[in-house]
Structure 1
Amino acid sequence: MDKLKQGIEQMQNHNYEEAAKLFTEAIDEEPKNPVGYINFGNLLTHMNDYERAERFFTRALEIDEEAGTAYYGLGNVYYEQEKYTKAQEQFLLAIKKGLDEADVHFMLGMTFIHQEYVKLALPYLLRASELSPKDVDIQFQYGLCLAQNGQIEQAEQVMNHVLQLEEQHSDAHYNLGVVALHKENAKKALDHFTKALEVNPEHMLAAHAKGQVEQALNE
């Protein structure tokens, strides 16, 4: 197995020092291969060393300006530092260079969410959800974005899908409770808020909503 693959394995097993050593050796052996720099950049991002990570991704792009994963890596560096506009530019470049994967569409969607451009986020979260139908986080954020765009029926379908993937998803239950209230079904809403609190007793929004629904039903 080559050093890059070994390095990725070590990284996945949280052996960061060993991963760094292998990536360094891979770069020394093939200094004109952008993949070594990209992997090292990913490792540094993971370790919150954003300044050095940025340098490694930039170096990869100097070698190959078509390397979509390097733009994606740079996007993550900026995203983690809450520089959402800069992150957005890099994720768009990654897609333009042919990176059509769930993660890049998801991250691009999330940059818009953080800037409160929920309409602009929707097509990217939709694409991510199509590419990764079993990813709970992606499906949940897509459902939430649908709700924020007023597409309540579709949001309900997606939140139910989230519960099929993860039965104990308190936020999905909470949001389905909100949808039920929107449809004036207080009993169903109460069921969802109760379930949200069974899963996560600290869920303040669900606790507040449950209290209000109970009060309304008792009046």
Structure 2
Amino acid sequence: MPKLGMEPIRRAEVINATLTCISIYGIDGMTLDKVAEHADCSKGVVTYYFKNKDNLTVEAFKAFMAYYGQMIQAEIESTMTPAEMMDVTLKHILTPYRDDADKKINVSQLDGTENMYIPYEDQGRLFVQFFSKAAIDPTLQEVVSKSYMADLHGIAKIFDYGNKTGHMSVEDSPSAAYGLLAMVVGLSFFRVANIPPVNGEDNRYICEDYVNRFKGGSL
């Protein structure tokens, strides 16, 4: 049994190690032994918190999906305009390219949101691994559903706020949010498949153009 007071730290280390292993080896190649090695702990510590590989995979997926919402919430401020709020949202759900392969995965809030991080390439690999498994795993599908329903609600609220302040004109906020999130998911797959847009730019501009269509007023 881990030392008293170490539980949250050990859990976080195991989750981070699991995501690292999935990014490197894939879900099928991830093993409890490899996770223990990357977490610098015994296999017994891993199974103490997470009964088996399936349980560990689900919890790691939850942490991966929650990461984006946590990062968005940490940056959005009530004084921001709707456009600024949307910029923060897009920055995290469709990250601009960055050369950060030297950084490590950390989805734990124990040291503060400012220290949470998922490198650019890891985001793409984890996205494909988890979503390909979710296609045939009802438990993982439920994780996706809950996370995306929350995302849709949050994005729709920004569109509603834009309508209220006169900065945006959106007839159907839930549908507009649905379209934007569907676009993000599709563009994420295109990134992993290395399919660039026609003009060769970072494909996130497609989402920005979509949002700009709703802008008006003083923006």
TM-score by length of 1: 0.29
TM-score by length of 2: 0.29
User: Which structure's residues are more often helix, by fraction?
Assistant: 1
The structure whose RCO (Cα within 8 Å, separation 6+) is larger is 2
